Amino acid sequence: MKEDYLGAAGNGFGDWLWQRASAVVLVLTLPFPFILVLCLLGGCLGQAGLLSLLAHPFAKAAHSLLLFAMLTHAYLGLKLIMEDYVPVLALRLPLLLATLAVALGAGAWTLAMIWSW
């Protein structure tokens, strides 16, 4: 007897797990950009100091991890909404592909900006 816990599509657990993992990464990494902005606005960090801090390879890797987690979390959330509320497959599939294309394009452009500093 086969137990089916994954739903009709068979991939629900994988999407759920990736979204939870990306949420954990977001909780751990998202406060740092806000702290940097507050330090910049508060005057304890100047523009030159901020740029030298962001030029460090560790900061670039952390920024890339934050970007990956953010795009993964957003895409999976939008995918779930579309799968639940767009009943027509002929409309849902192009929407999913367009969402994926926008996420990949935004990610590629942002990675190019991060690593070109």
CATH of the domain at 29: 1.20.1300.10
**Once rounded to an integer, what is the mean pLDDT over residues 23-36?**
95
Q: How far apart are CA 94 and CA 90, in angstroms?
A: 7
Read off the tokens for 11.
């991939």
The answer to the question of residue 6 being in a domain is no
pTM score of the predicted model:
0.84
**Domains of the chain: total:** 1
Read off the tokens for 103.
């996420």
Quick: pLDDT tens for 49-77. 988 999 999 999 999 999 999 999 999 99
Other CB atoms within 10 A of residue 49 CB: 13
Give the residue numbers spanning the domain of 57.
12-115
Quick: pLDDT tens for 86-104. 999 999 999 999 999 999 9
Read off the tokens for 109.
């452009």
Total residue length of the chain: 117
